[in-house]
Amino acid sequence: MQSLDRYDRAILRTLQENGRASNVELSDKASLSAPQCYRRVQRMESEGVIRGYTVKIDPEAIGLGVTAFVSLNLDREQFKQVRSMEKVIRQFPEILECYAISGDFDYLLKVVASDLKSLSAFLTDRLMQVPGVSGVRSTVCLEEIKPVSPLPLDRGR
């Protein structure tokens, strides 16, 4: 993968602020011609720097009023089946994010639900039924202070 220069970073900064920015807008912000800008975006997409484009939706506006962070432990006996368990985890639309972590738990999940009863049903009837899951602990989010933010592009490479 090619390292990112200041032009690439300007393009990425603009796309993080507005994923619908036109090529003309990107080229203006990056101080490049439109064709140069287009080639850079294509390159960053093919290299996997740009993973895709999404829309941010207010969860409450669509009836998902509860967010919880769920710590999950695996049964050591079934640890050989960890990839199968991860595959099942990926299929739950309620799980927005999943991270393998160090410490007292094996995974940390970000889960959404319509209400506490739905969250409880999801955890008990679905997540805890996944083969290999031995323990679950949830922490309900009371208020979102800083939602998903753009990555700091002035650091790193």
Looking at beta carbons, which pairs linking 118-126 to residues 24 or more positions away fall under 8 Å? 118/66, 119/66, 119/68, 122/92, 122/94, 123/70, 126/92
Once rounded to an integer, what is the mean pLDDT over residues 18-26?
Answer: 95
> What pLDDT does residue 70 have?
98
> What pLDDT does residue 80 have?
79
> What pLDDT does residue 155 have?
61
Residue-level length of the chain:
157
CATH topology of domain 59-140: Alpha-Beta Plaits (3.30.70)
Helices 34-46 and 6-17, axial angle in degrees (round to 10)? 80
Let me know if 106 is exposed, middle or buried by CB neighbors in 10 A (0-12, 13-18, 19+). Answer: buried
Let me know if 50 is exposed, middle or buried by CB neighbors in 10 A (0-12, 13-18, 19+). Answer: middle
CATH topology of 6-46 equal to that of 59-140?
Answer: no
Predicted confidence (pLDDT) per residue in 31-83, tens digit:
999 999 999 999 999 999 999 999 999 999 999 999 999 999 999 887 778 89
CA 102 to chain centre: 19
> What pLDDT does residue 67 have?
98
Tell me the pLDDT of the chain averaged across its residues.
94
CATH topology of domain 6-46: Arc Repressor Mutant, subunit A (1.10.10)
CB-based contacts of 44: which residues, under 8 Å, 6+ apart?
Answer: 4, 8, 11, 12, 50
Domain ranges of the chain: 6-46, 59-140
Tokens representing 110 are: 């970000």
Whether the pLDDT of residue 157 is over 60: the answer is: no
Are 72 and 106 spatial neighbours (Cβ–Cβ below 8 Å)?
yes
- Select the more confidently predicted residue: 12 or 77: 12
Whether the pLDDT of residue 156 is over 60: the answer is: no
What percent of the chain is modeled with pLDDT above 70? Answer: 98
